[in-house]
Amino acid sequence: MTSVGSLATKPLFGLPLAELWFALLFFIFGMFLFLDGFDFGVGVLFATRDDDHEKEQLLAAVGPFWDGNEVWLVVFGGALFAAFPSVYANLFSRYYLLMFAILAALGLRGLAPEMYEEREDDRWRTLWGHSFVIGSTVTPFLLGLFVMNWLIGATGLITPVGS
């Protein structure tokens, strides 16, 4: 019978388990960026449209895939916690405020299309249309800021490159 400890030390498919987890995490985060990038793009395009029918078409194009694309980010967080708990703890404690800003922007972006459809009032739709655009623009910026800070080892919320 094989113990769990021996699985961590033996290669799987010819690769050490840590490298397989890293490759899987890279794939999961890449899928999130690729698939959710479509949603971010639709959010930015939403700002360029004045016709309500075109705006409705953009929201309808995103609708069927919206929740599925967000699942990739949740899976990434869970897999990172499962495979590398110390990295997870370090990242989420070091970039605590940035993580909350990312979650707030994602929440705003997720809530905006739902609220946009609730009323036919022009002020209401303008408010939630702007919220959709802001959430779709700010989220990728904050994700890029997070990755940049992680790669250069910065500890602040916003750190200029080279500091």
DSSP of 3-25: -HHHHHHS-BTTB-HHHHHHHHH
Containing H/E element for 142? helix 122-152
Task: Please check whether residue 93 lies inside any domain of the structure.
Answer: yes
Task: Please check whether residue 126 lies inside any domain of the structure.
Answer: yes
- The closest alpha carbon to 113, from 46, 51, 50, belongs to 46
Task: Please check whether residue 8 lies inside any domain of the structure.
Answer: no
The structural domain count of the chain equals: 1
pLDDT of res. 12? 61
- Does pLDDT of 67 surpass 90? no
pLDDT of res. 158? 62
Range of the domain at 132: 15-152
Model confidence band, residue 160 (pLDDT cutoffs 50, 70, 90): low
CB 95 within 8 A of CB 146: yes
Average pLDDT of the segment spanning 145-157: 78
